[in-house]
Structure 1
């Protein structure tokens, strides 16, 4: 069985190869280790192998890990799950990035509850790129107005967009989904130059990271290829 360190090395090489093949600058794509349901010991092993950024979906589980790994000050914590209004204060305080904001109410609460001394909270807007009823995210039609309003909020840095495309699409349709998100970000940069850095595309997972990198991903969110398959729930 491969170790977590071996898996990180393998995924990193995949990212590097895909980046080179896409003609992009080395280091243009970062690895976000999706560590939901994984014990803190697994994250510690990954950190020892040089992994810095970890993505968590469940707040209480994440807070427990943040406490358990508080002796590792270089870890960068990303919240990538759905956000309930009653959870925004803790998210605003404990995380460096949030990838899953899809409405103004949540962004306002994160802005109000982020302590200025922590620096701006990096934020991506989640887009429901395939208009799936079961998926969170704003629509492409609503995106420009939402980005314009969020870009004016203090204590936030609007970095870009995130999407979780339908995994059951054909390869051609999946590539088109990634391209649509990249085009949406380019349009936001053009229309709202003062909204934020707008330099981030959070897209691509274990099975499709090469395609996502080719279409402009700057973060790829990888869980299974690093930590193995998650145990089935009873």
Structure 2
């Protein structure tokens, strides 16, 4: 198990580095966030001890269940799932430093109330539904700037950027327009110069499309299956250039 996780971390880091080089970007600009839904604390620990410190859960229940086991291992918690307002208390209890899925004003209001009562602040990303799929959460792109403006008025919420999930497709080129929408929104919000808003982070891209996301400006890629699943490439991947063209056929999303 450990060997496979270390192997996969090496592959993903190499993919990030190659994608950055191709896009003329510094690999230090892109953070690898470990998407840990359904992954045991034992496997998460292996990745944390040998890779990036950033992990993210989709469900508050999993955050709660793994908290004690992971407490002694240095890490930084993000939350990337749909957050119900009745779970806010738990999110704050389990040391989440960034909620990447702030998608509605009601959630911002309830977060602010709770944070004010506890004299805390939290980082947030505004989640945008760039694929226009009804199954996806996120603000409509046409409403994202106004939502950002309203969220900026809550002093407890530190807006750091935007997040999107993008179209579920094995073809990276079909997902590219989603990433472009997010990048364009980022640039529009920067031009608006809204007080208390930073637009440094674009969280987009998963296992199957991280290269495309990096080309379009991602600063955070969320990778789960490709690290915690079985080995995704043989060792020959490291020196066989031909394999890199086939990469998207071998990966699961997230």
Q: How does 1:153-172 map to 2 (within 5 A)?
A: 153-168=154-169, 171-172=172-173
- 1:61 pairs with 2:31: no
SS state at 1:199 partner:
strand
- 1:77 pairs with 2:114: no
Does 123-132 or 214-223 show the bigger shift?
Answer: 123-132
SS state at 1:87 partner:
helix
Contact 2:170 2:208 in 1 (8 A): no
Which residue is 1:90 aligned to?
A: 90
Which residue is 1:50 aligned to?
A: 51
Supply the distance in 2 between the matched residues of 1:134 and 1:182 (Cα, whole angstroms): 22
Change (3 A) 1:141 1:224: same
Change (3 A) 1:116 1:96: farther
Aligned residue pairs, count: 228
Change (3 A) 1:207 1:155: same
Contact 1:33 1:53 in 2 (8 A): yes
SS state at 1:17 partner:
helix
Query: Could you tell me how far 1:170 is from its partner in structure 2?
Result: 5.0
Question: Under a length normalisation based on structure 2, what TM-score does the superposition of the two structures give?
Answer: 0.84
SS state at 2:126 partner:
strand
Query: What value does the CA root-mean-square deviation take over the aligned residues?
Result: 1.9
Contact 1:92 1:110 in 2 (8 A): no
Q: How does 1:1-234 map to 2 (within 5 A)?
A: 2-72=3-73, 74-94=74-94, 95-114=96-115, 120-168=121-169, 171-228=172-229
Contact 1:4 1:226 in 2 (8 A): yes
Q: Please, which runs of 5 or more residues in structure 1 have no aligned partner?
A: 230-234
Supply the distance in 2 between the matched residues of 1:173 and 1:70 (Cα, whole angstroms): 39
Contact 1:91 1:110 in 2 (8 A): no
Change (3 A) 1:134 1:196: same
Supply the distance in 1 between the matched residues of 2:153 and 2:65 (Cα, whole angstroms): 32
Which residue is 2:248 aligned to?
A: none
Question: Under a length normalisation based on structure 1, what TM-score does the superposition of the two structures give?
Answer: 0.91
Which is greater in Rg? 2
Query: Could you tell me how far 1:119 is from its partner in structure 2?
Result: 5.5
Supply the distance in 2 between the matched residues of 1:17 and 1:169 (Cα, whole angstroms): 20
Query: Could you tell me how far 1:88 is from its partner in structure 2?
Result: 1.1
Supply the distance in 1 between the matched residues of 2:221 and 2:215 (Cα, whole angstroms): 12
Change (3 A) 1:97 1:149: same
Supply the distance in 1 between the matched residues of 2:67 and 2:86 (Cα, whole angstroms): 19
Contact 2:54 2:75 in 1 (8 A): yes
SS state at 1:187 partner:
helix
Query: Could you tell me how far 1:114 is from its partner in structure 2?
Result: 2.6
Contact 2:203 2:219 in 1 (8 A): yes
Query: Could you tell me how far 1:64 is from its partner in structure 2?
Result: 1.9
Q: Deviations over 1:42-71 (max 9, x none)?
A: 111111113211110111111221221111
SS state at 1:38 partner:
coil
